[in-house]
Amino acid sequence: MKQVLIKNMYLLSSVELLYGMTLRGKESRHRSKLVRILNEKVKELGENEIELIKEYTGVDENGNPKRNEQGDFHVGDVFKFRKEQQELLEEEIFIEGEGNMEMIKTVKEILSNYDQEIGGKEADAFDYLCEAFRVDEEDLEEQKIG
């Protein structure tokens, strides 16, 4: 497996799930590397969401999104805003490259061997990460033909 795709909407819950895992050695280091990558993407997503909000609310004299009297963002076209926001959340980030191959392999093994009980949001994130890391698939590159 050379790359992993993760939708923006699963970034934060994936970070929370991975942080909660008790791991040692290489597994812990590679999990931490993935969490650093995901946290950077969470930050970018937040910045993109603020820019989208500003696009639909306009900005006040301080450059912040405009708010109504109740303190909520004053979005003009809510339907169009929600559509664009959903598109942003559906976008996928790519984790790939020679420097990440070992980390991807290790995280796949962590997910495959994880046997702790989880529920709710964490269970959803776990299921999503298992799909993203293709936990139930064999890596054809690693199989020996012979």
State how far the alpha carbon of 57 is from the alpha carbons of 69, 79, 105, in Å.
14, 13, 43
Q: What is the pLDDT of residues 37-81, one digit of tens each?
A: 999 999 999 999 999 999 999 999 999 998 888 888 888 899 999
pLDDT confidence tier of residue 139, bands split at 50, 70 and 90: low
CA distance linking residue 100 with residue 6, whole number of Å: 15
CA distance linking residue 49 with residue 70, whole number of Å: 20
Q: What is the pLDDT of residues 78-125, one digit of tens each?
A: 999 999 999 999 999 999 877 899 999 999 999 999 999 999 999 999
User: Which tokens in the block code for residue 71?
Assistant: 């303190």
User: Got the DSSP string for 76-103?
Assistant: S-HHHHHHHHHHHHH-EEEEESGGGHHH
One-letter amino acid of 81: F
| Residue-level pLDDT at 71 | 86
| C-beta atoms surrounding 7 within 10 Å | 14
CA distance linking residue 138 with residue 141, whole number of Å: 9
- What mean pLDDT, rounded, does the chain reach? 90
